[in-house]
Structure 1
Amino acid sequence: MSQLISSRNFLPLLGLGLLSAFGCTKENLSPTAGGADAGLSNSAVQRDAQATPGFVLRAKQYIIIATGDQLPANLDAQTAAANGKVTNKLAEVGVAIATSDDPDFATKAAKIAGVRSVVHDFTYQGFEPEPNRVLETAAADNVNPPSTGDSNPLYPLQWGATAIQAPEAWNTGNQGQGVLVADLDGGFELQHPDLRENIVGSMSFVPGEPAQFVGTGSSHGTHTAGTIAAVDNNIGVIGIAPKAKLLLVKVLGDAGSGSFSWLMQGILYATQQRADVINMSLGAALPRNGKYLDDAGNVVNDTKATQELLVALSKVTSYATKNGVTLIASAGNDANNGNQDKSLVHIPADATGVLSISATAPIGWALAPLTANLDRFASYSNYGTPAVTFAAPGGDFAYPGNEIVVFRGVRQYVWALDMVLSTGRVSATGAGSYTWMAGTSMAAPHATGVAALLIGKNGGSMDPTQVESALRASADDLGKPGRDPYYGYGRVNALKAVTQAN
Structure 2
Amino acid sequence: MTRSSQRRRTTFAVAVTAAAAVALLGGVPTVASATTTEASTPVPIAAPEGTTMSYILNAKVANPGQTRLLEKAVNAAGGVVVQSWPQIGVVVAHSQHSAFRDDVRAAGANALESVGATRTAEVLEGTPTDVQAPWGPGASGYKKGANKPTNGDVEAPTTPAASSSDVYEGLQWDMKMIKADQAHKITEGSRNVLVGVLDSGIDPDHPDLQANIDVADSVNCTNGGRPDTSATGWNPTTSDHGTHVAGTIAAPRNGVGIVGVAPNVRMAAVKVVSDEGFIYPEYAVCGFVWAGQKHMDVTNNSYYVDPFEFWCSDQPDQAAAKEAVSRAVAWSTKQGVVHAAAAGNSAYDLSDKSKITDRGSPNDGTAVVRKLNDGCQDIPAELPGVATVSSATSTGALSSFSNRGLGVIDVAAPGSNILSTIVANNWYGYKSGTSMASPHVAGVLALMKTAHPELTPEQMVAKLRADATDTACTVTTRGDACLGTAEDNSFYGEGMVDALKAVS
> The TM-score by the shorter chain falls in which range?
0.7 to 0.9
Give the alignment of 1:339-350 within 5 angstroms.
Answer: 339-342=351-354, 343=372, 344-350=376-382
- 1:115 aligned onto 2:148: no
- 1:487 aligned onto 2:480: no
Residue in structure 1 matching 2:237, options 214, 224, 248: 214
Counterpart CA distance in 2 for 1:171 and 1:335 is: 36
Residue in structure 2 matching 1:186, options 200, 214, 226: 200
Would you identify which runs of 4 or more consecutive aligned residues in structure 1 move more than 6 Å? 123-127, 130-136
Contact kept? 2:196, 2:269, Cα under 8 Å = yes
Structure 2: runs of 5 or more not aligned: 1-11, 23-42, 48-52, 122-149, 355-371, 473-484
TM-score (structure 2 length as normaliser): 0.72
**CA spacing shift, 1:382–1:488, aligned 2, 3 Å:** same
SS in 1 for 2:234: coil
Q: Tell me how far 1:133 sits from its aligned partner.
A: 8.5
Give the alignment of 1:315-464 within 5 angstroms.
Answer: 315-342=327-354, 343=372, 344-362=376-394, 373=395, 375-395=396-416, 419-427=417-425, 432-459=426-453, 462-464=455-457
Counterpart CA distance in 1 for 2:270 and 2:462 is: 27
Counterpart CA distance in 1 for 2:255 and 2:237 is: 27
- 1:155 aligned onto 2:165: no
Comparing 79-88 with 104-113, greater Cα deviation is found at: 104-113
Residue in structure 2 matching 1:471, options 458, 464, 473: 464
SS in 1 for 2:82: strand
**CA spacing shift, 1:57–1:175, aligned 2, 3 Å:** farther
What is the CA deviation profile of residues 291-315 of structure 1, one whole-angstrom value per residue up to 9, with x for unaligned ones?
Answer: xxxxxxxxxxx82233332221111
Q: Tell me how far 1:102 sits from its aligned partner.
A: 1.5
Give the alignment of 1:34-433 within 5 angstroms.
Answer: 50-51=20-21, 59=47, 60-70=53-63, 71-111=66-106, 112=108, 113-122=110-119, 128-129=153-154, 137-139=163-165, 153-201=167-215, 202-207=218-223, 210-215=233-238, 219-284=240-305, 285-287=308-310, 303-342=315-354, 343=372, 344-362=376-394, 373=395, 375-395=396-416, 419-427=417-425, 432-433=426-427
Counterpart CA distance in 2 for 1:132 and 1:436 is: 5
What is the CA deviation profile of residues 78-117 of structure 1, one whole-angstrom value per residue up to 9, with x for unaligned ones?
Answer: 2111121211001110111001111121122223111101
Contact kept? 2:67, 2:86, Cα under 8 Å = no
Counterpart CA distance in 2 for 1:178 and 1:139 is: 31
Aligned Cα RMSD in Å?
A: 2.9
What is the CA deviation profile of residues 327-355 of structure 1, one whole-angstrom value per residue up to 9, with x for unaligned ones?
Answer: 11111100011122242421110122111
Q: Tell me how far 1:136 sits from its aligned partner.
A: 7.1
Structure 1: runs of 5 or more not aligned: 1-18, 25-47, 141-152, 291-301, 363-372, 396-418
Tell me the amino acid that sits aligned with residue 497 of structure 1.
A
Greater RCO, CA 8 A, separation 6+: 2
Counterpart CA distance in 2 for 1:132 and 1:453 is: 28
What is the CA deviation profile of residues 235-279 of structure 1, one whole-angstrom value per residue up to 9, with x for unaligned ones?
Answer: 100100000100111000244223210111011111111100011
Counterpart CA distance in 2 for 1:164 and 1:132 is: 23
What is the CA deviation profile of residues 50-89 of structure 1, one whole-angstrom value per residue up to 9, with x for unaligned ones?
Answer: 439xx99684110001112223433322211112121100
